[in-house]
Amino acid sequence: WRHRTLLKAVLRASDVGFWRWYSTPLRGGAPGMDEILARVVPPLPTYETRDKSPPPPESSSLEFMQFYKSIYKEDKLRFLNKLSQDFGVDHRGVSELALKLLDTQLRDLATILQAEDRLRYSLTPRYKQLFNHISKAEGGVKFLVDLRADVLEIISSKASETPDIRDLSGTLKSLLCEWFSVGLLRLERITWQSPCEILQKISQYEAVHPMRNWADLKRRVGPYRRCYAFTHAAMPGEPLVVLHVALTEDISNNIQSIVREFATLHAEEDVNKINAAIFYSITSTQPGLQGVELGNYLIKRVVRELQSEFPHMAQFSSLSPIPGFCTWLQGLLGQYRKDGRHPDILSEQEWKEVGQATDSAPGTAATEALRKLIGTGEWMHSERLSRVLEPALMRLCAWYLYGEKRRGYALNPVANFHLQNGATMWRINWLADTSPRGVANSCGIMVNYRYFLNDTSKNSVLYLQNKVVTASEQVLGLVSQFQKNSKL
């Protein structure tokens, strides 16, 4: 027996069929799928007995969890497809109840409300009952978070495009939104005295500015720094979303001064030098919680914490990366080349200087040279090229953040996140992240999203309802310069 936990579940199982199932190989898994699902997914109680039906035994939840963990990735896809298709909503029953609801429209209100309630109950997928029971088992909530991560991966990779899989993801998301509501989350400040396991996970999960060693981690939770995380009682020792904050005199315009500042490691904090809080990294650690609002609540809670610790503090701002900018720019230049047009995103003088700096002829050659420069980041090593490209790249970046949309909202996901929170697109910073990653993603440019606390609610409403981006004069000026040069 390779799977000892499965053996324990076997010993608890009274159904002889379980022994018969486990005697089949786990590889392929198919012979056991129908049988185990039929056994562990409880039927939806009738409407009349919905509050009186006894819960299934805990062993059913454990059996489902152990089986799923033991099978291979390709079998998980088949298993989830079968779960979502065969144990979802009873569509025929829903249709019948919908017709009955139409027939009651001329009846009294009490009859109509009861018909609506019956219809609402019939729309509950059968597997939702199973998920609710699994959440009560030890480790059950974490299992369901990971299960949804698998479902999201299936959807994004288009391994399965059935609507049932998307409905399964939506059901899980709805449950997770309830279980991870802000009132059930605990805010923890992470320090060097925090448990080693938590510190290690903070380091491993960091996705924005990866940590190089333990000294780097110690600095990021030390003086002039704050690290906060949301945790949940059902997932002890597991940070759900992590926010790193730098305490500075002014709003930082580059990340080097924050993540490479060794002088703060053993310094004593001087309150007189702390006027601003810079949110320079926020990381969601659980892919399965995608779409569950956590990051925006974390920022708001941290602002309250910092205001309590530093009552005089009035400046709150992010220092954010711009993932996708270089990819967008490469695509834009590629489209010009495909159309056989000379890009008008640079002025004639700027194109001339690019040509001279790269020894390329005007026109297509200069466009291709610029594409290569953006792709390789080699321009960073030339002071002349850096000077030539700065005004053009700043204009292009401003337009990408402010003007490029997806369904009317900011195309850039980081911009969309902060704008939804009510922040102002405040300042775009040149050579703010000179790391290879920063240059490859955004030509080394970063942006401050400033949180003016008296305006965040208003800005959030304007953005979410009217798709209005609140931006500073600097950003709007760069956007205006771009529009003068380009026909976009």
More confidently predicted of 410 and 26: 410
Is residue 474, in this structure, part of any structural domain at all?
Answer: yes
* List 318, 320, 360, 442, catalytic entry: 320
Give yes or no: 418 in active site. yes
What domain range includes position 154? 33-89+124-180
Among 320, 343, 362, identify where a domain stops.
Answer: 320
Q: Tell me which of 130 and 378 has the higher pLDDT.
A: 130
pLDDT digits (tens, 9 = 90+) for 416-453: 999 999 999 999 999 999 999 999 999 999 999 999 99
| pTM of the shown model | 0.86
Is 290 a residue whose pLDDT tops 60?
Answer: yes
Instruction: Tell me the average pLDDT across 206-230.
Output: 92
Whether residue 133 lies in the annotated active site: no
In a domain, 13, yes or no: no
Q: How confident is the model over 307-322, as pLDDT tens digits?
A: 999 999 999 999 999 9
81 and 133 co-located in one domain: yes
Residue 112 located in a structural domain = no
Residue 97 lies in a domain: no
CATH number of the domain at 335, please.
3.40.630.150
Same domain, 374 and 434: yes
pLDDT, tens only, 389-423: 999 999 999 999 999 999 999 999 999 999 999 99
357 domain-assigned = yes
Question: Is 381 found in the same domain as 312?
Answer: no
Q: What pLDDT sits at residue 172?
A: 97
pLDDT band at 130 (very low <50, low <70, confident <90, very high): very high
Tell me the mean pLDDT in the region 163-185. 95
CB atoms within 10 A of CB 149: 16
Which residue among 153, 180, 207 closes a domain? 180
- Check 418, 457, 480, 486 and give the catalytic one: 418
Asked if 273 and 297 sit in the same domain, the reply is yes
Section 18-34 average pLDDT: 47
Q: Are residues 476 and 385 in the same domain?
A: yes
CA 205 to chain centre: 13
> Any idea which of 118-127, 202-211, 223-232, 261-270 has the lowest mean pLDDT?
261-270
Which is more confident, 372 or 308? Answer: 308
Q: In the prediction, which pLDDT does 485 show?
A: 79
Q: Specify the length of the chain in residues.
A: 488
Section 27-42 average pLDDT: 75
What is the rounded average pLDDT of the residues 170-175? 97
The residue whose two tokens read 């970046």 is 397
Mean pLDDT of 22-34: 51
Domain count, the chain: 3
Residue 108 lies in a domain: no
CATH number of the domain to which 142 belongs: 1.20.140.90
User: Which of 305, 320, 335 is the last residue in one of the domains?
Assistant: 320
